[in-house]
Amino acid sequence: MPPGSRYRAAQDSDQRLAARLADLEPPSAATSPEDDGIPVITSSAGYTTEVHVLLALCDLVQQLNATLIAINLPKGKQPPKVRPMPRPVTAIERERAQRERSAVDETLADLGL
């Protein structure tokens, strides 16, 4: 199936499948999502290779814009922070993030914080 198909989108958003796949992974394979941890797009339907390339191009143009602003800022001023364009977040990525948050919460509870 192509990456942007409805079947793949349904697979990507299936929480039960994500939990099973996360159980099969070693703990070191877990990756964290974006900084804020809030998924913006939860469906990958229509997310094709062309869309991926266009989003990457938008990110690069934003980075170039921030670089040009930073060059022309007076000393001591901070350039704007560039946030990448939102990408679809699959159920497995949400499951990994949830497990990572749970592990951090358990560690903080063990430390008494």
What pLDDT, on a 0 to 100 scale, did the predictor assign at position 49? 86
What pLDDT, on a 0 to 100 scale, did the predictor assign at position 106? 93
Cα separation, 57 vs 51, whole angstroms? 10
Task: List the domain boundaries for the chain.
Answer: 6-111
One digit per residue, the tens of pLDDT, for the chain of length 113 reads: 676 778 877 877 788 888 887 787 766 544 444 455 544 566 777 778 898 899 999 999 999 999 999 999 998 899 889 999 888 888 888 888 889 999 999 999 999 88
